[in-house]
Chain A
């Protein structure tokens, strides 16, 4: 598989985060400013330039043991500073299913 860094030129048009899935259980995770992973979008490191995005993705992709499939995802920074997913796919990944489970969680 091609490294995410080699796939295409990295260009972001707004605030973004780096996200992946945790290796041992697949849980959605976000790269943090502390060079670690968190399952909370609120903990994610925000990048605003393509160079920052490339650097954060490189750091995240280097952790092949802890995370799978790191990529850059758009986010929206609300007036109160809250980080919100930037599209529906990321909303589903961050917030969970838009439907009720057939059994109580």
Chain B
């Protein structure tokens, strides 16, 4: 966990009081909606179909049990008893009243949580690997760098009115769990030949209407130079980014139109002006942030405790363990993913009661720490293996032990037309139906790793472009239709999916997905060949034939 200091606390409280005054002036009519809109957006407040939506940042996906209880409190007191975890390590509340928002923000500020820059054309929440600090083989904890960037870019006047929103993600592992290649800037922490820590910098990734995979702009930027290099990118973007056309305003369009070489040259020239300035991080500054991350006092524990050996006789436990429990850097401990994808449930939603229960379990079994992943699941990052059987039973009691992590029913979905004012079609009911179709966890296990991502419009909040199976809702003559892509992925081999054919109506989407999965089972080389690898080997044609032969 990162320990905020008095400066952070003062900033949050001042921000809350500033927003309280702005809300008061809006409700009295002193501020028009035109004047107020940018202010509320800078505090994470959108207007959706039915109500205001309040988006709260969970920097680099790390939460304390105290913070999670505060989120549960907000859900219960100011909303309708639940929250929705997003694909960018945020949580959204869908029914909040404007008049009560300042109180909700004040309650969150008490535990060091805020909503600054969770919307608007500024630097959004800097995200990271949800296994940061505990993943085996990690170069170092990427959250140190996330925090340095968060501090530098929060309320930075030069970056508060960018041409468009701007998102950074950081990973320090070979396997990318932070989807860095679909971010405006992706940072991959690694060591150079001299053993120094730095970043490969990728730029211009993003989904939405015009999707691009990020391009490598510099293979190695020393850690001490990362603020100046990121600032150089932002300055070039700020200068040349299209402010005249919202659809061409993201940095990915600028990088695409200039070409990565020319864009890189512009950045390099800017960087030469900045690199040996106050933006250079000295060792003391890095150590200061590093020292404020605390790590658990791990015990020396056996690799295979008796409790785990005994529980292995229970096939239900074993199925959950194989699916949801992952190696930890410390012997005797595990990382446990908590599925927020129950059969028939909206992906990513958690009730206030579940949040409180998770907070209690985190205190008991995970040193009071919880993580949030972009796949819309949570994780307990420090669970002693001896405690796994007890944790499993406790999670099962509150509906959080669905053994479907990374399987076909572990679906990413945006709120879609049930909530969102931008959506053309519904996402959640499609996801719910698919989880029912694939409710048999044994069958899902045989299918193996398969990511389905669903977006209710071209803005792609559900990351459909990078789903192994991607589903995009569109509107045709007043009816909901869905385009299906296959072959996308968001990891270190990130790729955009390929459209398999004409869009299909709402009622046929689940049938089409079943057809695709059946085709895969028939086509795969062996049970070890993952869906994504079969698509890569064979292309989309055999899947297209299967889906459209009878349609």
B91 shortest CB reach to chain A, Å: 13
How far is it, in angstroms, between the C-alpha of A47 and the C-alpha of B29 when the chains are bound? 28
- With a cutoff of 8 Å between Cβ atoms, the chain A residues found around residue B48 in the complex are 26
> Known: A89-B49, A102-B346. Is A26-B417 also a contact (CB below 8 A)?
no
**B51 partner, pick from A1, A27, A98, A99, beta carbons under 8 A:** A27
Are B47's CB and A26's CB within 8 A? yes
Are B49's CB and A25's CB within 8 A? no
> Known: A98-B418, A102-B345, A103-B351. Is A25-B99 also a contact (CB below 8 A)?
yes
- CB nearest to B342 among chain A residues: A102
Are B33's CB and A64's CB within 8 A? yes
How far is it, in angstroms, between the C-alpha of A62 and the C-alpha of B208 when the chains are bound? 34
- With a cutoff of 8 Å between Cβ atoms, the chain B residues found around residue A103 in the complex are 80-82, 351-353
Near B by CB (< 8 A), chain A positions 27-70 give 27-28, 64-65, 68-69
B386 shortest CB reach to chain A, Å: 32
Are A89's CB and B417's CB within 8 A? yes
> Known: A26-B52, A102-B349. Is A87-B417 also a contact (CB below 8 A)?
no
Stretch at the interface among B191-199, B426-434, B513-521: B426-434
Near B by CB (< 8 A), chain A positions 13-27 give 21, 23-27
> Known: A1-B37, A89-B417. Is A101-B80 also a contact (CB below 8 A)?
yes
How far is it, in angstroms, between the C-alpha of A68 and the C-alpha of B52 when the chains are bound? 11
Are B417's CB and A92's CB within 8 A? yes
- With a cutoff of 8 Å between Cβ atoms, the chain A residues found around residue B478 in the complex are 87-88
How far is it, in angstroms, between the C-alpha of A88 and the C-alpha of B351 when the chains are bound? 27
> Known: A99-B428, A102-B351, A105-B80. Is A26-B50 also a contact (CB below 8 A)?
yes
> Known: A26-B97, A28-B50. Is A99-B34 also a contact (CB below 8 A)?
no
- With a cutoff of 8 Å between Cβ atoms, the chain B residues found around residue A28 in the complex are 49-50
B98: CB under 8 A from chain A? Answer: yes
Q: Which of A26, A65, A101 has the most CB of B within 10 A?
A: A26
- With a cutoff of 8 Å between Cβ atoms, the chain A residues found around residue B50 in the complex are 26-28, 93, 96-97
Are B47's CB and A69's CB within 8 A? yes
- CB nearest to A103 among chain B residues: B81
How far is it, in angstroms, between the C-alpha of A21 and the C-alpha of B478 when the chains are bound? 23
B360: CB under 8 A from chain A? Answer: no
B166: CB under 8 A from chain A? Answer: no
- State how many residues of chain B have any CB contact under 8 Å with chain A: 37
B82 shortest CB reach to chain A, Å: 5
- With a cutoff of 8 Å between Cβ atoms, the chain B residues found around residue A69 in the complex are 33, 47
Are B98's CB and A26's CB within 8 A? yes
- CB nearest to B425 among chain A residues: A88
Are B417's CB and A88's CB within 8 A? yes
Report the interface size class on chain A. 20 to 34
- With a cutoff of 8 Å between Cβ atoms, the chain B residues found around residue A65 in the complex are 27-29
> Known: A23-B98, A101-B80, A105-B80. Is A92-B49 also a contact (CB below 8 A)?
yes
Are B97's CB and A25's CB within 8 A? yes
A99 shortest CB reach to chain B, Å: 5
How far is it, in angstroms, between the C-alpha of A21 and the C-alpha of B99 when the chains are bound? 14
**B98 partner, pick from A25, A64, A99, A105, beta carbons under 8 A:** A25
- With a cutoff of 8 Å between Cβ atoms, the chain B residues found around residue A101 in the complex are 80-82
B417 shortest CB reach to chain A, Å: 6
**B432 partner, pick from A68, A89, A96, A99, beta carbons under 8 A:** A99
Are B52's CB and A98's CB within 8 A? no
How far is it, in angstroms, between the C-alpha of A1 and the C-alpha of B36 when the chains are bound? 11
Are B99's CB and A102's CB within 8 A? no
Are B97's CB and A24's CB within 8 A? yes
Near A by CB (< 8 A), chain B positions 10-35 give 26-29, 32-34
Are B51's CB and A26's CB within 8 A? yes
- With a cutoff of 8 Å between Cβ atoms, the chain A residues found around residue B138 in the complex are none
- With a cutoff of 8 Å between Cβ atoms, the chain B residues found around residue A88 in the complex are 417, 478, 480
Near A by CB (< 8 A), chain B positions 199-239 give none
B333 shortest CB reach to chain A, Å: 31
How far is it, in angstroms, between the C-alpha of A69 and the C-alpha of B29 when the chains are bound? 15
B85: CB under 8 A from chain A? Answer: no
A28 shortest CB reach to chain B, Å: 6
Give B401-445 as 1s and 0s: 1 = Cβ < 8 Å from A's Cβ atoms. Answer: 000000000000000011100000010110010000000000000
How far is it, in angstroms, between the C-alpha of A88 and the C-alpha of B98 when the chains are bound? 26
- CB nearest to B48 among chain A residues: A26
- With a cutoff of 8 Å between Cβ atoms, the chain A residues found around residue B346 in the complex are 99, 102
Are A102's CB and B51's CB within 8 A? no
- With a cutoff of 8 Å between Cβ atoms, the chain A residues found around residue B29 in the complex are 64-65
How far is it, in angstroms, between the C-alpha of A24 and the C-alpha of B478 when the chains are bound? 31
Given contacts A89-B417, A99-B429, 8 further A-B contacts (CB under 8 A): A1-B33, A25-B99, A26-B48, A69-B47, A88-B417, A99-B418, A102-B346, A103-B351
Can you list 13 A-B pairs, Cβ within 8 angstroms, ordered by A? Answer: A25-B97, A25-B99, A26-B96, A28-B50, A69-B33, A69-B47, A89-B49, A92-B417, A97-B418, A99-B428, A101-B81, A102-B350, A103-B353
Which 3 residue pairs across A and B have the least CB separation, nearest first? A26-B51, A65-B29, A103-B81
B contact residues vs A (CB 8 Å cutoff): 26-29, 32-34, 37, 47-52, 80-82, 96-99, 345-346, 349-353, 417-419, 426, 428-429, 432, 478, 480
